[in-house]
């Protein structure tokens, strides 16, 4: 079994946090543009596509 030094756990966590906050930040910026251009309903549709991607990642990986 592999064990990890705390510093390395922090580094992996930092990579995860960076990806997470960057993508979410970009998503937030994009969502404003979609909402302004096409309205609330289209935004929900776009988000639904992401939801289906999430479900697909989970089901395929399973």
Partner 1 sequence: MIAEKISWSSSPYWNICLLAFAWALTLSTSTLLTTVGPLSATSLGASKSLAAFTVGVFLIGAALSSVPSGWIFKRYGRFGGFALGCLCQVIGSALGTLAMFTDEIFWLYLGCLSIGLAQGLGQFYRFSAVEITPVDFKSRAITYVLSGGVIAAFVGPTVANFTVNLVSKDYVGTYLVVALFAGLNLLVICLVRFPPAKGRDEKQSPSSSRSISFREAPETRSTWTICSQPLFVISCTIATLAHTIMVMIMSNVSVDMNHNGYSFSNSSLTLELHFVAMFGPGFFTGKLIQKHGSFVVALIGGLIFAGSSVVLAIGTELWNYIVGMILVGIAWNFSFSAGTVMLTSSYRVRWRCCRFVGLRDILC
Residues that bind partner 1 (CB under 8 A): 1-33, 35-37, 40-41, 43-48, 50-55, 57-59, 61-62
Least CB distance from residue 27 to partner 1, whole Å?
Answer: 4
Least CB distance from residue 26 to partner 1, whole Å?
Answer: 7
For residue 5, the tally of other CB atoms under 10 A from its CB is: 8
31/48 Cα distance (integer angstroms): 13
Least CB distance from residue 40 to partner 1, whole Å?
Answer: 5
CB 35 within 8 Å of CB 43: yes
């Amino acid at each position: 079994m592999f064990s990890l030094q705390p510093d390395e756990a922090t580094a992996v966590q930092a990579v995860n946090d960076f990806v997470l906050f960057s993508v979410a930040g970009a998503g937030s910026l994009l969502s404003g543009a979609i909402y302004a251009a096409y309205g609330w309903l289209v935004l929900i549709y776009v988000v639904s596509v992401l939801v289906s991607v999430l479900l697909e990642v989970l089901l395929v990986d399973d």
